[in-house]
Every structure is written in structure tokens, then in C-alpha cells.
Structure 1
Amino acid sequence: MLILTLTFPSLVFATSEDDLQEQIEAKQKEVGKINEEIAQTQGQISNLQGTAKTLQGAIGQIDTGIKQATLGIQSSEVNIEKLTLEIESLGYKVDEVGEEVQRKQSQVADLLRTVQRRDKYGFLTSILGSDTLAQGLAEFNALKALQDNISKEAVNLSHLQEDLKGTIDVSSDKKSQLEVEVINLESRKVILDDQRGQKAELLTQTKNQEGVYQNLLGDLEAQQQALLDEISDIESQLSKNFDRSSVPTHQSGYLAWPVTSSGQKTGVITQNYGETAYSSRFYKGRPHNGMDIGAPTGTEVRAGADGTVVRVDYNGLYYQYGRYVLIDHGNGLSTLYAHLSGATAKAGDTVKKGSLIGYVGNTGFATGPHLHFGLYATPSAGWHTSTNREQGGLFSVPPASGLVPIGVTLNPAQYL
């Protein structure tokens, strides 16, 4: 009678793997502390809104932005260390599970060869060829036990292969996150330099004197109001003549939430689309043409949907949209991401839903760090330089530098 006993060792990780897990947990706690500090600075910025009416208040806002950018750099550095450790830990698991898969495959193959040898002459021949009926039945039972064992171990092997694939997928995702975090780190260093440059420029312009600042502020507010009036007049006229059936109907989930941190949705809506309390006060009752999402300087901004980047531009530190990215989604809709502190996307880039395109900032006409998220009906002629107020497009609207996107605006909330 054939008796076969199989033993399968359990997966046991080395001590170094335990050490890795401790280090990963420590880094996770460190990231959590930094994120708490960033959240606190965002609260400070909320409290500072409106204080830019004085030079001291404006400097205070910039200083808080510098602190946010510094913390963002620290967060990226620790995240890079954490992700590197996680990838190393997953590498251990991939190796261990891979070796176990190979052992299982070898054992199943041995079982199959044994069955083939025992079943070489067929069941009936084996029974008749035995010295006694009892021996023949024992041979049959041994063969059946082998076949049952093969079935069981084949299932175990399948589960191990699924586990291996899942671990490899997680490792691949961590590597992608690491690549993004390296980009974040370098971008946030540039953002920090820009913040420091803004402070130095403001102090130079005002000679650190409140009176000089008030004169500059008065000129700026008058210029920006004239700019807003011109843009609002064009967009209002375009909306009156617009056929709403020419764009996709409201579709919940079409657009992804555009502000993320470590892959998770973050940010809060600070102003909705349309007529708001803020717009009635600061826009002379004109409706707000987008959705504002408050978040710390340097927070990731992601593409709302698949599309092509048609414009990356800069309207100036204090005018209109500041630094922005404009994406045409190819279905009659386009999205605008404005007031950015930095942009990773370039004109002509093809982006996927959720692709990193830039970072939340405070450039342009903004009272604090946030993303202005705009949704447009793509102009019939596309996003080209235009002077035709009946068509929309990219307009030169001094004193804003670069080109300003102007067109029929829609409510982003109806597509999120």
C-alpha cells in the first residue's frame, strides 16, 4: 500500500522584516504628526483671511504659507522613507511567497507523476493484478487519496498565486506612489523658494511701510475689479446664448475630486459655484464662476477626468487665476485648476483621471491657499487665442499677464 505524507512549512519572515515593520509604523506616526501641524497652519490661514488689508497681515499670510511649504517638504521626505521601507518589506513577502509557490508546484508535480505511475495500467488491471482483492482495493484507495491530495494542493497553489499577484500589485502601487512623492518633494522645494521670493518682493515694493502698501493695495483692487467686470460681462453674454444640450448632461462621478493628500480626498469647499455670500460682497453681486476648495499650499491637485492639457499659464502673482492648468476632456467639457503654487503638467500632455497636474496655492486674486476648480463648455473653436466675445477662448486681459480662459461656465458639483 502506498502511504505518502506531505508537510508544507508556514511562511516565517526574518527578524529584519519585523524591524522593517517597526520602522514603517514609526514613519507613519511621524507623517501623521506633520499632517496635524499642516492642518493647524491651515486653520491659522483661515483666521488670517482678510488681514491682508494691512502689510503686517499680508506678511503674516506669506509666513504661514512658508511654514506650510516647509512642512510639506518634511512630509514628502518622511513619506519617501516610509514608502521605501514598505517596498522593501513587500519585497521580502514576494520572495517568500514566490518560493512557497515553487515548492507547491514541485509537490503537485511529484503527486501527478506518482498518480501516473500507479495508474499506468488502469484501475481494473491494477485490481485484477493484485494478489488479493483486499490488496487491490487498498491500491485503489491509495490512488484516490493521491488524487484528492492533488485537488487540495492545486487549490492551495491557486490561493498562493493570487496572494503573490496581490502582493506584486501592492508593491507596484507603492512604487508609483514613491515616484509621485519624489516629484512632490522637488516641486515643494520650488514652491518654498517662490514663497520666500514673494515675501522679499513685497518688502522691497513697500519698503516695509504701511502707507506704501496701502497705495499698492488700492491700485491692485481697482485693477482686479475692472478685470473681473470685463470677464464677468463676457461670460454672462456667452451664457445667455448657450445651448445647454450641446454638453453632457449632469453626471455624478464623471469628475474626480481634484484635491488629494497621500492618495486620499482632502480639502473643504470654501465657496460654491453661482451666487454666494462672498460673491455678492466682493464681486458686486456677480456669480462665482467655479468652486473653491481650501487646502494647504503644496497639496496635490489631480485631473478631474481624462483629457488633454491645452494651457498652462500664469496671470501674475496678484491677478485673476494666477498659475493655472486648463484641460479639454474631448466631450464638450473642460476644467480649470487655478491659483496653483506649482504645475507639473505641460501643454500638450495627455492626462488620465486622477493624474497629478499641480499643487494648491495662493497665486492670482486669492485671499488664501485654495484651488479654484472651474468647469467650462469647451468653446466651439477650441481653446485658442481669441478676441471674439461671442465665442469664448483665451483672452488677453491686462493687467493680468498671459492669457485668461473665458467661456460658458457650469457647476462642477453637478459632475462630481
Structure 2
Amino acid sequence: MRLRLLILCAFAVLPFGLWALSPLVSSGASGPSLNEVQSKIRQKERQIGAKKGTERVLTTDISRYTSRIRDLQGRITGLQRRQQAIQTDLDAKRSELVRVQDQLRDERARLTRLKGRLVVSRRALATRLVELYKADRPDLITVVLDSNSFADLLERGEFLRRISDNDRRIVAAVKTAKADAQATTTRLAGLEARQQKVAATILTRRDEVAGVKNDLVSARSGYERTRAGRQNLLSSVRGQRHALEDDLGELQDQQAKIQARLADIASGGSAGTLPAGPIKPGSGGMIWPVNGPITSPFCETRAWESCHPGIDIGVPSGTPIRAAASGKVVLMQPESASGGYGNFTCVQHTSSMSTCYAHQSRFGTSMGASVTQGQVIGYVGCTGRCYGDHLHFEVRINGSVVNPLNYL
């Protein structure tokens, strides 16, 4: 009973704002607690680290396969040059083969002619031998005794000499034809063997080069498919990491808001209790809305958080925001309506010039109100898309954002 009374007394003396915000530091139905958000942040950081490790492995694999593909391509290029040299040699071999085939045809025709001559010579020899056998060939004494005169003797002697010379020519022609026929047959056999050897060399070298080249092309295609798969996987992992980093940014933003609200409550109540500080005049006619360092400079095109229209000035949450010049409040949008700008206020100073103040923790003026230079119009915070307490300050001319430093 005493313990129950102590708990009730503790809640009775607890400031209303801290009691209302207690679900932020302990689990509750109204929203995630700070511990839950921090736990999710650690989980996202671990997941991002794992994705980065996978990216490093995939990048290494892709580099390795790229190196292998370059090596294979170099070997394929070398084989292509070798193939061109072989093709030139093959063309020469084909020309040589044509010459060998022409020689073969010539030798075959010559052999046919020689065989014909051999047949004719053999027939003439056979006929002559028959004639000599049938006609009893006279010897030298018979020719001398039967001669009627010396002139007749000479005539008969010349006749016998011519017959003998003719017989020798016939025999020599037969021997020559036979020898030519044998030599031609031998040459034909050599030419045919040479023809077959050249043809076999051509086919072998062609098949070897084509086979090695096809193997290398197949290996390169396999590496390219593997590399493409790794690249697709790397793109997927990077996309997942970017999504995790976006989630992490939102969680860090949520953590900063919770911590800022807890710090505000712990300091004694509502936001905006920090002193406004001295007015800091600028050289361009305006005053600085808050006193602090520029954490993000101005640039023409928004590409990254550190490069965007306007400037970011780093100051603690709850720091009062002063109007940079006198004017009229023409725009006030809560975080739910302005998106990334959070709680957003714009003050019209002239017909063409206005200033805007984003990421406020709460407003300090009202729509349509006339404000004087230096008047507090809001309080610094981290509403909308931000990663820490700061004031986003813009100067606009005819609605277009210009460099605020030209007017401060």
C-alpha cells in the first residue's frame, strides 16, 4: 500500500509535459521509445555494414572477372593474329597444292604417252626380230663373195650397217621408254604423297586454331555472364543499402527530435526558453536570424544535403529566430504541409524580396502579422527532413532563391 501511494505521489508531482512524453522514453502505444529508436538505429547500421561488406566482395569479384576477361581477350586477339598468319600460309599451301595437281596431270599425260611409245617400240622390236629370224641374215663373208663389184659391196655393207643401227635405236627407245615410265611412276607417287601431306597439314592447323579460339571464346562468355550476374547483384545490394541508409536517416531524425523534446522538457517546460542573443547585423541591410556557424553553404542546384538553396546555420533547439528585416508574414506551413521544410515561415519585405525560415520547432508569430526587424518569429528545431537542430534560411527575389550572404 505504501509503495502504491509513493508511485501516485510521484506522478502527481511529475511535470505535465514530462508525464505526457513518458512513452518516448519507455515503451507505449503512443509512439516508439528512445531506446527502441536507438535499437533500430544500431540494427540498421549493422545491416548497412553487412551490405557494404557484400559490396566490397562483389566489387572484388567483378574486378577479378574483368581482369580474366581482359586476359582472355588478349589471348583471343593473339589467336586471331595467328589465325590470319595461318590463313596466309594456307592460301600459299592451296596454291602449291594447285601446282602439284597440275604437275600430276602433266605427269599422268606424259606417262600415258610413254606407255604408248613403249607399246609401239615393243611391237616394232618384235616385228624386227621375227623378220631377222625368218630372213637368214647374211654374214660379212657372204656379202663380200656375192657382190658383183666393189660398188655393190659398198652398197651392201651400208645396208647392213643401217639395219644394225635401226635395230639398236629400237632397242634403245624401248629401254628409254621403260625407264621414263618407271621414273614418272615414282614421281607421281611422291607428288601424291606430298599432296596428301599438304592437305593434312592444312586441316590440322585450321582445326587446332579454331578449337583453341572457340574454347577461349566460350570461357570469355562464361566470365562475362558471371560478371554480369555479379554486377546485377551489386546494383541490387547498393539499392538495398541506399534504402537502409534512408531508413537510418529517418531514425536518426526521429532520435534527434525525441532527444530535443526530452531535453526541452528536462530544462523546465516548453521550447523557446533559450535567450535570443544579441542582434548580429549584416553588411547587406538584413540582420542574421540566429547567431551560429554556417553548416551548409549555398549553391544553385540541390544535389546533396551539403549543397542546397539557402544556408544552414547550426544552433541549439529552441533558439529564438529573429526576422531578418521588417515585413509581413505571407506563408506559414506546419510540418505536415511543407514536407521536408518542416515548420516553415516566409516574410515578405518588398514587392520582390522575401525571407524564409525552415525546420522550426514551433512558430512565434501568426499568418498575416506585421513583424519588425529583430522580432522573434519562431524557434529553431529539427522538423521535416533534417539530421540535427539548425535553421535553414533562404532569401528569395521574385520567388527565386538567391545567395543569402549577399544580403547579410
TM-score using structure 1 length: 0.35
More helix, by proportion? 2
Question: Which structure's CA Rg is the greater one?
Answer: 2
**Structure 2-normalised TM-score?**
0.36
